[in-house]
Amino acid sequence: MILSLFLPYVSAACVALLALVALLRSHRTIADWTFAAGMAVLTAENIFIGLTASAQLPERVIFWQQWRTITLSLLPGFWLLFSLSYARGNAVDFLGKWRIPLIGAFLLPLLIALLFRNNLLIAIADNATADHWTIRLDGAGLALNLFVLVASIFILMNLERTFRASVGTMRWRIKFMLMGVGLLFTVRLYTSSQALLFRGIDPSFQMMNAVSSLVAALLMVRSLFRSGRLTLDVYPSQFVLQGSLTILLAGIYLMFVGIFSKIVSYFGGDTTFALKSFVGLVALVVLAILLQSDRVRLYLRRFVSRNFQRPLYDYRTLWQRFNEGTASRVEQADLCRTLVRLVADLFEALSVSIWLMDDKRESLTLAASTSLSEAHSRNIGPNPKDSDEVIRHFQMHPEPADIEGSRSPWASALRQWHPGEFPNGGHRLCIPLIARGEMLGIITLGDRVGGAPYSLQDFDMLKCVGDHVAASLLNAQLSQKLLQAKELEAFQTMAAFFVHDLKNAASTLNLMLQNLPVHFNDPAFREDTLRGISKTVTHINHLVGRLGHLRHELKIQPTLIDLNDVVTHALAVFENKTEGSLLKELHPLPKIPLDHEQILKVVTNLVLNAKEASPRDGQVRVTTTHDKNWAILTVTDQGCGMSPEFLQRSLFRPFQTTKKSGLGIGMFQSKMIVEAHRGRITVASEPGKGTSFQVFLPTAAQ
């Protein structure tokens, strides 16, 4: 009884002290603020638990429990926010994706607690005694406990993802903080599920929450002594819900507790049920902690290797892990973060860093690390002179090297770039990354679990890993260059479309200028010329307005129109030209779905090409016909024609042309436009005899 009166206040004092430490930090982050706020909520809850335990009258018990329940409503929001921001280098991305659940975690429980304050608790059960009381939960109280249970699952899930994304020194720094918060909400998951199952609050569960707060505070103190800060760079996957062990364990646990409680109730109940369940839960937590211990995993691995005569490395599994882990990483930064994790897990090294050559190949920069943050690397990072020493050494000696014993400048520089975290962490090593005789960077390793020395087998594996990492980095760099080349090619293609349209507009203006001296005194011609110039200027302005959309794919906006109207519009600018003749035979056509502007480009391009390919007195014939489900446009000239080889290999490819001043983009663009209308374009040509293009466009029925 004395312990139950004393323990909640001790827990409240420890938790409050941790909250104060977080607030007194010089550089407070979101994780610091939310940690302090969450610990303040736990402090208030423990105080109300202590006041409840010391209350003698049922009315006072209900009063203090009501305030404890209201305080409980603040717990999910702060700790969910902490689980999303603690030790995460990409916390901003997660907070953006979780903004709606976060708002709900802050507002919904608080609104339930305040708006339905009188519906949280009912009364102390009739069988309550001075030493053991039970408070029944009303509807709002049950809803609040259900919300806390769900929030606990998501908090544990986020902590799990942070732990799984961390490796090496980062994991060593955050492990006890995650254990503390994880223990806190594992117990909270248990007590909330019990409150929902039995629809009441038991004092033993209150003490369980107080004990978990005290133990969690001690684990968090241990974590702060290790890391000294709450801001670390871990990059968990964006797919938070995918493959989460927490959700699976929570589901199994809730099913187990539900079945167990029904069995106990069937056989008349068991006064020690809560104690037995708690012991079982603690045993599971201890087992999970042991399984996540780097040192335990190292000893287990060595025991299996030593007693079952296995090689130190399972090469088939190892290379499968490396291949699966790096196959889908196309971004260099993402690939490097994956590689340091794989190398750290493979060699049981707590600190692994990758340094890559810069673009000028004059210096090394930090690409990823399990122990160094970007800010820290800038303070201790390489200068050009030291980088040159390291690069020259490994170009002459492309083998893994122990950097502890050497007094050479390159080794001194590496020791400065990769400071040791532990005095008994063993020797630090460096692996050069060389592919195709070209040095891409280096990997530094240190602080091996247990300070285990590297054997000859380890050095052979280090060399193989270095070659594999170098090949992966080279592939990533080549893929990035290929992607940039394709983007540039796509941009150049679209830009060529734009230039080609401007060239057609300039050709139209040029035709008008050629006819202007001949027909200048004709008022009708001047009026028609001004109208044509106005349309051309409008078209140019429209093209300029579309310049920002060059990289978008071709899109059409079809409406039911007559193809003959489009052809007539396109031929209007050619009809008064003095050189050559232009014949048109436009037969009646049904209206078909066309994008007027895009098809106008096709007709203009075909007629302009025919004009340019024909001699001065040559004839260009434009006809339209209707054949079953197709509207057919035919443009025929008597020009120079094209060779079969050019027709087969180059005609519809961009930047291929037979004209001296051509861009080689017109037919490529025309083919794209026609195919976008679900049509096709064919060509028949013979050198010296001319060319005939046919454009087939489906009718509305088709």
- Residue 230: pLDDT band with limits 50, 70, 90: low
Cβ-contact 7, 207 below 8 angstroms: yes
User: What is the average pLDDT across 145-159?
Assistant: 86
Share of residues in the chain with pLDDT > 90 (%): 6
Q: Residue 243: which pLDDT band, with cuts at 50, 70 and 90? A: very low
All domains of the chain in start order, with CATH = 2-292 (1.20.1070), 315-476 (3.30.450.40), 553-698 (3.30.565.10)
Residue pair 169/371 in contact by the 8 Å Cβ criterion: yes
3-state helix, strand, coil in the chain (%, to 5): 60, 15, 25
Contact (CB, 8 A) for 565 and 502: no
pLDDT greater than 60 at residue 266: no
Question: With helix as H, strand as E and coil as C, how does 71-137 read?
Answer: HHCCHHHHHHHHHHHCCECCHHHHHHHCHHHHHHHHHHHHHHHHHCHHHCEEEECCCCCCCCCCEEE
**Range 557-562 average pLDDT:** 89
Is the pLDDT at 551 greater than 50, yes or no?
A: no
Name, of 142-156, 293-307, 349-363, the range with top average pLDDT. Answer: 142-156
Determine the Cα–Cα distance for residues 103 and 598; give it in Å rounded to an integer. Answer: 49
pLDDT band at 659 (very low <50, low <70, confident <90, very high): low
Half-sphere exposure of 170 (CA within 13 A, CB side): 29
Using only the alpha carbons of the chain, give its radius of gyration.
38
pLDDT digit string, tens, across residues 201-226:
877 778 888 888 888 888 888 777 76
Characterize the bridge pairing of strands 592-594 and 630-637.
Answer: unpaired
Which among 528, 519, 669, 664 is positioned nearest to 604, based on CA atoms?
669
| pLDDT of 348 strictly over 50 | yes
Output 279 or 84, whichever has higher pLDDT: 84
Beta strand pairing status for 619-627 and 630-637?
A: antiparallel
pLDDT for the residue 239: 42
Which one, of 536, 470, 474, lies nearest residue 503 by Cα?
536
